[in-house]
Every structure is written in C-alpha cells, then in structure tokens.
A and B are shown apart, each in its own frame.
Chain A
Amino acid sequence: MYYAPETTPIDLPTFHSQIKLPYTLTPGRAAGIFLVEIANGRIVGSRFKDGSVIAPAQDFSPKDGEEPEALVEAPDTGELTGFTRVDGAVIGLIRLDGCANAFTHRILGELADLKVGQRVKAEWDGAAGQSILAIKGFVVAADAPVGTVKELGELPEPLGVVNYAFALDYEHAYGPYYGRMFDEIKQNGVFMGVRGSNADEALLPPREIDDITHKRTGTWKACADTGTIRACSIINIEVYGQTRQVPYVYAEVVLDGASTKMIHVIEIDDLEHAKKNIKPGTRVRAVWTKGERQGRVSDIERFEVIDG
C-alpha cells in the first residue's frame, strides 16, 4: 500500500534545468494591423456593432466573441484606471479616449504623482518599430484635450509573424531517491537503483513504489556500466536543441543488473554500418566523460558497442 511518512521541509541542493525556445507567433488580422500601424505612430482599435471601441485592436469582442465592424484609429490620450510599481518601473492600466477597455503599459513618471482618473498621453519612440513599445510609455498630461476615435483609411497588410523567444529556468528538487542516485554518480561514478519489491533487478532510476506490484521497493543495488540495447534508432534529422552531430544512435539501454531503461547515445560513422550492427540485443558499455563528474546522466558521454 501507499506510505504517508512524517516529513518536514529541509533545504537541499536542486537540479538546474533550462527550457529555451524560439517561436514565430501569428498575431492575426487585427493585432497584425495594429503592429504595422503603431510603427507609423497610429493606435489601431476595433469598433464593434454596438459602437464600442477597444484598443489595441482585437479580432474578437471580449464581450461576445463577435468580429469587429471596422478597425479605427484611437487617440493617444486617455486616463489612468489603475497603477502599480514593479521592479522600480511604474505600470498602469490606460483607457484611451473613446475606448471601452483599459490596457497595460509603462507609466513614465513617479508613483507619488499618480492617481486613478488622471489624464495621460503617449510618449512615442520612433525607433522601436512594429512593437507595442513604439509607445515608450504614458506620461501624466493633466491638460491633454480629450481625443476622439477616427476612421482609418486604407488598411495595410497585417504583420503575419512575430518572432518571440523565452528561456525558462527551473530548480527541480531531487527527492531522496534521485538524490542518492545522482550523489553516487557524482561521488563514485556508479549508477545505483533499487530492487523491485519482489525482484533482484534494480529499478533505475530508483523509486519508492514498484510500478508493477505497487508495493514498496527493496534495497539499493549498484548496476554495471555495461548493458544491452532494448530499442534504438539512427538519428539523421537535425532538430532545434540537439547536442550531438548527426548521424548518431538514440539508444534505450538496460544496464546490467537493472530492469528498466536509460536513454543515451552511441556515436557512429556510417548509417548503413550502424543499421546492421547496432540493434536490440547489442551489448554496449559506457564511456564516461573526462574530468570532474557533475552528477548527471551526461556524466556518461556516450555508449559504445562491445565488440565480439
């Protein structure tokens, strides 16, 4: 059965990982035209059948999902409907004159000078291009006259693609089982698993509960750094994020003494030769990286085929 041990939080080192991805996002028609026009110093909004205008322009009404009747030009003046300070910068919610919604932007001013309902005006940055940051921010403008929504003339082609990227950093907690395994890899260069509830072969990576019997797993066991390929494929496709040069073999290897697989790579020179000589059942051995071990699976640099 399952165990619910008494636990208390303790601070331990974490496992760092980063996910870094590039995107080519599609803004769609309204936002695409907004981005083209903002580079020309015009703020494009959407006017819906009931006469309400929202800016920046949207393809669909946030009220009922209807499409806009027309895209229009909103004024660059409005009022502050809320504000806060983040990291030293002031962020505000701005409702442009003639518009029904408020949107978020920078406020170029001191927090102490702001109040809800204050008149504000956009400060433009001509060099920022097709980005919401073509408006550098909004400044307090107590005397700014109330602007009006105007018709837009001929509409430009919308911007089709916006390049975007992010890098997300994570600090994963190891937990006691992964913690011990990676300690052993780092300190001793040994892959340790735990025996199944009713077996001598080790589950690798180690875990508290046996997946098959749902009983508590057994004692710790060192596995060899030799093993057998369970499944493999020959990678000949180059994809974003790859760390090895193609072609190479993607291999799921069961280390001697274990019952579960680990994923690793085998270097090859030639695709045709690899097709014939590297397959399920092929015996392999680990080639460790030179230098200090980090306590990661990549402390094994690669596997190589055991000849004969």
Chain B
Amino acid sequence: MGREVGIVGVGQTHHSRRRTDVSQAGLVREAVNRALADAKLSMDDIDTVVVATGPVLFGGVNQPEKWVVDAIGAQGKSVVRLTSGGGAGFAGALAGYYQVAGGYSERTLVVAYDKLSEGPLQYSISTLYDPFWGREFAVGIMGFSAAYWRARMDVLGHTEEAAAMCAAKNRNNAINNPYAHQKKAVTVEDVLNSKPLCWPIKLLDVPPISDGAAAIVLANDKVAHHSNSRPAWIRGIAYCCEADNAPERSLMVSEPLALASRQVYRAAGITNPRRQFDVVEIQEPYSCFELNYYESLGLCPPGQAADLVASGATQLDGDIPVNPSGGCMGANPIGAVGVIRLIEAATQVMGRNESHQIKDAKLALVQSGGGWANLRGCAVLSA
C-alpha cells in the first residue's frame, strides 16, 4: 500500500432547481473556491485535478473539463475527466485517491458537478441503453429502478411503506441541510399518497432535479496537516461493476456493492458494520435503493431492510443514522452526489457537519453509484 490519503478540504454549492445566474463552469468554480479556502490552499498548491460529471448529454457540453479548467485557474495542471453515471463523483474521488495513494500527487482536487436543469434528464439516461436492444422502450432510469423494486417486494419484502419511511426520514433530515434546496417536512403517509410516476415509485420517493457542484481536496499524510488538524482519512474505497445483461443475475441484492463493501471492509478492518459505523451516507436515487443498500452493505441481512428502517435505527437518534444530510432527497445534482456524500461523511468524522452532527462520530461509511445497476462503490472514512 502507498501513502495514506485524507480529505483535507471540502466545498459545495448551495444546490438549486435551477441556477440561471451561473454557467456550468461558474457553478464548478464556486465549489472549488470553497474547498480550497477550507483547505487553506490556493490552486498553486494543487498537483492534479479530476473533473467528474454525469453523461455528457445531461448538459450538452462536450469535453466540459476544458471549460472548467479555465474557470478554476487550473491551466497547465494534470487534468482528467471521469464520467460514470450516478457514481461519477465517487469514481472521480477514487481516481484522485489512486493518484495520491500511489505517490504521483501530494494534493489532488476532485470536483464533480451536474447542471441538470439544462437538458431532458430521463431521456438522456435512456441513451445509455443499448441502441439495438432496449433504448426504444427505456424510460430513463426510473422505469428500470421501479421494475426491480417491484421484484424485490416479492422476494425481500421491500414494501412501499418501508421505502416511504426512508423517503420521509431523508426529506425531514434535509430541512436542516444548508446546501439542500428541497426542504419540506413530509410524513410516511404523504409519500404513500403521492402521485405514482413509475409505480411503485411515487413522486415523493424521487429526489429533486438539481444544479450543483462539490469539491474535495485529497492530501497525503505528509502534507495533510498544513490544511487540517483533523482530516478525514480514507480507510478503504472501491467501485465495482458487473455484467449488464448476463444470466444468473437477479438484481436483488446489489452484487457490485456487496463486492465493493467486502474489499473496503477488509481494508478498513470492519467486521460488524452495523455496530462499528457511527454514521452512513447513502446515494439513494430513489427511496427504494436505500433498502437495497442496507442489505448490500451488510447493515442487515437480505430481507431485513424493511425491519431495519421500521426499527428507527437509521434515524438521527438511532444507533446507525443513515443520511443525516438528507441524502439525495435534499438535492440531487447527479454527477456531484458521490462527492457530496463523501463531504457529508468527512465533516461528520471531522466533527463539523453542518446538517446534523452525530455526536462523537469517528467512523463513517459512504456509498455511491448509479441508479443503473452495475456500477456501485463504497468508502470508509475515519478521523
């Protein structure tokens, strides 16, 4: 193993349904400036930059990293752009982690964003499907996600009510998140009674569509102390994939996430995730995914996710709070979300979370990935 890698600076925009006052590049700049200020650094101190966004059709700008680099003053630096659907920001963080852990960079800036108000979201997601086989009848990611939730209901008991509990929990947590833009108290009944969009997915199971950016500065153990006396160390991070339309693939428990968590837990010395983690941040593109991830991350055995959420354990005052920030329900600028979840978990173990600081949080679990089935990952952070 190479160098230890810590998150030493974080910054995100005040996310919004639509920002007409800044361009895509201007949005990115806000997050980058905040992260650099937080890390007490300037762009001169940064060795390499990773720019992560969702698919290029989301914003209609090809090779946007060239625009972004001009706007953040990173001309002349080593820059790569990464895109990986919903997990784009997380994949960007993984790339940055490799650069620092491998000793190729002392400090790497990872910035992730999407400005989803600018294009037709579900249709651009439909273009991710095989053009020969499926694109004609795809309904973005919502039709697909709802279909497998419906299948998990029968096999794993992921009921509409259990998912509604996740949605209500996250929506209510988001009210206190200064960066969220959807902040309205809702009850489980409100979620259950909301309009079916792709049944079983209903309006309040669905996060907002957002414009937003998020940035983190990663530093090795030699220089981290210049920025932060208490960095959030990355104890393990992985992002796995599986075949798209292979036989023997049930899509019940998320296989790539189960694989990723096994790797990460081994690296971080996690043997009992439910007991060991103080706080969890999950990327839930729809409420039903949260139930799926409880099981894939080993927070409960398959088939017990509904019981876990019903027990209250994942509420703010439970023994394993999930999404104190409100998760995607407060804001969902898709490409940025992987980095936002890392920020929310990092500030928890740094002891300075702005939404709901979990008391004495020392060990945090972060999950990220697309609503798309086959790319998902997780990371463990500690102070």
Interface residues of A (CB under 8 A from B): 15, 17, 19, 21-29, 31, 58-66, 158, 160-161, 164, 166, 170, 172, 174, 178, 182, 196, 199, 201, 203, 205, 211-212, 230-237, 239-243, 250-252, 259-265, 271, 275, 279-281, 296-298
Within 8 A of A (CB), among B100-126: 115, 117-120, 122-124, 126
Contact in complex: B122, A240 (CB < 8 Å):
yes
Q: B200 in the interface, Cβ–Cβ < 8 Å? A: yes
Separation of A232 and B24 alpha carbons in the complex (Å): 36
What are 19 inter-chain pairs, A to B, with CB distance below 8 A? Answer: A17-B131, A23-B59, A58-B70, A59-B25, A170-B131, A196-B247, A211-B243, A235-B143, A236-B195, A239-B123, A240-B120, A242-B139, A243-B137, A252-B147, A260-B245, A271-B196, A296-B136, A297-B137, A298-B137
Chain A positions within 8 Å of B19 at CB level: 26
Chain A positions within 8 Å of B75 at CB level: 62-65
Q: B248 in the interface, Cβ–Cβ < 8 Å? A: yes
Contact in complex: B150, A231 (CB < 8 Å):
yes
Chain A positions within 8 Å of B20 at CB level: 26, 160-161
Given A65-B74, A161-B20, is A25 in contact with B198 using a C-beta cutoff of 8 Å? no
Given A64-B73, A234-B198, is A29 in contact with B132 using a C-beta cutoff of 8 Å? no
Separation of A203 and B244 alpha carbons in the complex (Å): 12
Chain A positions within 8 Å of B199 at CB level: 233-234, 236, 271, 275
Chain A positions within 8 Å of B24 at CB level: 26
Separation of A240 and B72 alpha carbons in the complex (Å): 34
Chain A positions within 8 Å of B154 at CB level: 279-281
Q: B135 in the interface, Cβ–Cβ < 8 Å? A: yes
Closest to B135 in A: A17
Q: 4 closest pairs, A vs B, by CB?
A: A65-B73, A28-B23, A233-B146, A211-B246
Number of interface residues of B (CB under 8 A): 66
Q: B267 in the interface, Cβ–Cβ < 8 Å? A: no
Contact in complex: A263, B138 (CB < 8 Å):
yes
Contact in complex: B197, A201 (CB < 8 Å):
no
Given A21-B57, A261-B245, A280-B151, is A233 in contact with B137 using a C-beta cutoff of 8 Å? no
Given A26-B24, A212-B247, A233-B150, is A297 in contact with B120 using a C-beta cutoff of 8 Å? no
Residue of B59, B145, B245, B251 with highest tally of chain A CB at under 10 A: B245
Closest to A250 in B: B143
Interface residues of B (CB under 8 A from A): 19-26, 29, 43, 57, 59-61, 70-75, 115, 117-120, 122-124, 126-127, 129-140, 142-151, 154, 195-201, 243, 245-248, 251
Chain B positions within 8 Å of A237 at CB level: 122, 139, 142, 197-198
Given A23-B119, A237-B198, is A178 in contact with B132 using a C-beta cutoff of 8 Å? yes
Chain B positions within 8 Å of A29 at CB level: 21-22, 26
Contact in complex: A297, B134 (CB < 8 Å):
yes
Separation of A23 and B121 alpha carbons in the complex (Å): 10
Separation of A81 and B147 alpha carbons in the complex (Å): 57
Contact in complex: B201, A233 (CB < 8 Å):
yes
CB distance from A124 to the nearest CB of B (A): 26
Closest to A67 in B: B29
Chain A positions within 8 Å of B148 at CB level: 231
CB distance from B143 to the nearest CB of A (A): 4
- Among candidates B74, B131, B196, residue contacting A236 with C-beta atoms closer than 8 Å: B196
Contact in complex: B60, A172 (CB < 8 Å):
no
Contact in complex: A21, B119 (CB < 8 Å):
yes
- Among candidates B118, B140, B147, residue contacting A251 with C-beta atoms closer than 8 Å: B147
